[in-house]
Amino acid sequence: MRFAFVFLLFILPKVSVFSQSNYEIPADTQRIVFLGNSITYAGQYISYVETYFRLKYPDRDLDWINVGLPSETVSGLSEENHANGAFPRPDLHERLDRVFEQMKPDLVFVNYGMNDGIYLPLDEERYQKYKDGINWLDTKIGEIGAEAIFVTPPVYDPKKDAAYANVLDNYSEWLISKRYTEDWKVIDIHWPMRKYLEDQRELDSAFYLAKDGVHPGEIGHWLMAKEILISIGESEVKNYVDIHDAIASHAMGEEILSLVSKRQALLRDAWLTATGHLRPGINAGIPLEEAQAKGREIDAEIKKMLK
C-alpha cells in the first residue's frame, strides 16, 4: 500500500500538467493579437491556427495579427553581453501601451518565457521577475477590456542545456497553476512538446525540434498550433501529423495557407513599425494604411477560395 501511495503522488502532477482546458473565442471578437518573442515573430504557428480556423469557419471574420518581437522578454531582464554587447533585450514594458492604444485588441494570446530566464540556471530572483511580468501583463490586458490567453513557453532542448530546460519546466508549471489559483486561460504547449521530443529521441537519438535548442522548425510550430487549436475547441486536430495533413481536405488549403502567411508577415512588420520598438535589425514595415489596404486585397483572395 505504501508503494502504491508514493507512486500516485509521483504521477498525479504530470496528469494535471498535460490536461488542457477549452476556451471558445467569444462571438463578438474581432481582433486577435499575438504577443511574444522571436518564436512568435517567426509566426508559423499563428498562420497554422488562422488557416485551420478560417477553413473550418469561413464566415467568421476575425483579424489575426502577430506583433511578436525577437529577443523580447516580459521579465525586463537581459544578459550583460546580449548580442555580443550590441543591444540589451527589448522589454515588453517599453512598448505595450502603444500596442494596445493603437491596436485595440479584443483577445490577446501571450507567449513569453523562452528568453525570460536569460539562459541561466533557475534563480529565484529571475523567476520572480518572470512572474511579476506575466502578472503585470494580465492586469494590462484586463484594463483594456480584452480577453487574455496565456501560452506556456515552448520546450528548450535539454541536450543543449538541461539546467535551462528545467527553468522552462518551472515557468510552465507556474503558469499552468494560474488556471486553478486565479481562473486564468492557459494553454500548455510546453509539456506536449517535451513529450514529443522525448518520444522521438527514443526512436532516433539525433532527432531535434530546434537546431539551436530554441527556435522550432515546422514540426515544432505545428505542435504549438495543434495545442492552441485543441484548446479553442478543435479537438479533431490531435489526429493530424502536420499542418499539411490538417488542411488536405480543402482543395485550396495550401494556397490559403500561403496567402495567410503572406498577410501575417505584411501586417506584422507594418504594425511593429507603427507601434515602435527598440529592437535593432528588424525589417521596417510599409506604412500601416498601405499594409492594411494590401491586407484587405489578400483577404479578398482568401475569401474567394473559401467559397
222 within domain boundaries: yes
Question: Which DSSP string corresponds to the chain?
Answer: -HHHHHHHHHHHHHHHHH-----PPPTT--EEEEEESHHHHH-HHHHHHHHHHHHH-TT---EEEE---TT-BSS----TTGGGGT-PPPBHHHHHHHHHHHH--SEEEEE--TTTTTTS---HHHHHHHHHHHHHHHHHHHHTT-EEEEEPPPPPPTTT-HHHHHHHHHHHHHHHHHHHHH---EE--HHHHHHHHHHHHHH-TT--S-TTSSS--HHHHHHHHHHHHHHTT-GGGGG-SSHHHHTTTSTTHHHHHHHHHHHHHHHHHHHHHHH----TTPPPPPPHHHHHHHHHHHHHHHHHHH-
10 within domain boundaries: no
Q: For residue 51, what pLDDT is reported?
A: 98
Q: What is the pTM of this model?
A: 0.93
279 within domain boundaries: yes
8 within domain boundaries: no
257 within domain boundaries: yes
Nearest to 46 by CA among 107, 118, 89: 107
Q: For residue 305, what pLDDT is reported?
A: 96
Q: How many domains does the chain have?
A: 1
CB-based contact 155:194 (threshold 8 Å): yes
70 within domain boundaries: yes
86 within domain boundaries: yes
Cell of 15: 496528469
Q: pLDDT means per 10 residues in the chain (307 residues)?
A: 35 45 91 98 98 97 97 97 96 98 98 98 98 98 98 98 98 98 97 98 98 98 98 96 97 98 98 98 97 98 95
4 within domain boundaries: no
> 174: domain range?
25-306
Over residues 275-288, the pLDDT tens digits come to: 999 999 999 999 99
CA dist 60 → 14, 31, 111, 306 (Å): 36, 12, 24, 11
Q: For residue 179, what pLDDT is reported?
A: 96
**CATH number for 118:** 3.40.50.1110
φ, ψ dihedrals at 74, nearest 5°: -100, -10
Q: For residue 307, what pLDDT is reported?
A: 86
